[in-house]
Chains A and B, each alone.
Chain A
Amino acid sequence: EAGVVQSPRYKIIEKKQPVAFWCNPISGHNTLYWYLQNLGQGPELLIRYENEEAVDDSQLPKDRFSAERLKGVDSTLKIQPAELGDSAVYLCASSPEQGEGYNEQFFGPGTRLTVL
């Protein structure tokens, strides 16, 4: 079974430029998560989708961050414009069930973003 796929693995951009990350969850997983992981810290949830609906985006900085999950499968996370403080690893995860929130999340390899 293929795991969560993310691309690109690395991205280097100048500040104020836009950037986008892509995630393909495990087939059949209806819940998708985007996390931000700063250096030396644990991941923090940015947004959670159930199918195509964003059910928790309370931690997403909506002035510059946006996300979409068209058709309830693939998802993209965008930053526009990027700031120096956005340099981090962006992780995507998926899980097969949603409702109680007690299920295992499967993580992708992440995208390391460097903003210069």
Chain B
Amino acid sequence: AQTVTQSQPEMSVQEAETVTLSCTYDTSENNYYLFWYKQPPSRQMILVIRQEAYKQQNATENRFSVNFQKAAKSFSLKISDSQLGDTAMYFCAFQGAQKLVFGQGTRLTINP
């Protein structure tokens, strides 16, 4: 079974700083997708960024980028120029041939 591990329960940075959230996963599959979801206090899960495992190029969405290391089964999220609105729970998720599996989440706080 696939597992997703987020080793940072909480992180806190100052506004405008850069922050990196870690994620590792375990799978024997070769084709899969990886996601980072954001969940603010409103509880709405919002997709931040996705990465197809067959693509070597790291995905980027504006201030959000990933460092995908397939051999190491690592998928970190970098948030540049962090904003107060980035404060939320962030979940890393893996989807292979079966269901979407989430990590335990990292609570990120952006301080003014």
B43 contacts A110, C-beta separation under 8 Å: yes
A43 contacts B96, C-beta separation under 8 Å: no
Chain A interface category by residue count? 20 to 34
B80 interfacial by beta-carbon distance below 8 Å:
no
Residues of B within 8 A of A105 (CB): 100
Question: In the complex the two chains form, what is the Cα distance from A56 to B95 in whole Å?
Answer: 15
In the assembled complex, how far is the CB of residue A36 from the closest CB belonging to chain B, in whole angstroms?
Answer: 11
Q: Which of B32-56 contact A (CB under 8 A)?
A: 32-33, 35, 37, 42-47, 50, 52
Chain B interface category by residue count? 20 to 34
Question: In the complex the two chains form, what is the Cα distance from A42 to B4 in whole Å?
Answer: 10
Q: Which of A43, A48, A112 makes the CB contact (< 8 A) with B45?
A: A43
Residues of B within 8 A of A104 (CB): 35, 47, 50
Residues of A within 8 A of B105 (CB): 40-42
A101 interfacial by beta-carbon distance below 8 Å:
yes
| Nearest chain A residue, comparing its CB with the CB of B32 | A102
B98 interfacial by beta-carbon distance below 8 Å:
yes
Chain A 55-66 near chain B by CB (<8 Å), digits 1 or 0: 010000000000
Question: In the complex the two chains form, what is the Cα distance from A12 to B32 in whole Å?
Answer: 39
B45 contacts A44, C-beta separation under 8 Å: no
B68 interfacial by beta-carbon distance below 8 Å:
no
Chain A 31-61 near chain B by CB (<8 Å), digits 1 or 0: 0010000001111110010000000100000
In the assembled complex, how far is the CB of residue B1 from the closest CB belonging to chain A, in whole angstroms?
Answer: 12
A43 contacts B102, C-beta separation under 8 Å: yes
Given contacts A101-B96, A101-B97, contact A42 B44 (CB under 8 A): no
| Nearest chain B residue, comparing its CB with the CB of A102 | B33
Residues of A within 8 A of B91 (CB): 42-43
A107 contacts B98, C-beta separation under 8 Å: no
A26 interfacial by beta-carbon distance below 8 Å:
no
30 sample A-B contacts, Cβ–Cβ < 8 Å, listed by A number: A40-B104, A41-B104, A42-B4, A42-B91, A42-B102, A42-B103, A42-B104, A43-B45, A43-B91, A45-B99, A45-B100, A48-B99, A93-B45, A100-B97, A101-B95, A101-B97, A101-B99, A102-B31, A102-B32, A102-B33, A102-B95, A104-B50, A106-B47, A107-B44, A107-B45, A107-B46, A108-B44, A109-B43, A109-B44, A110-B44
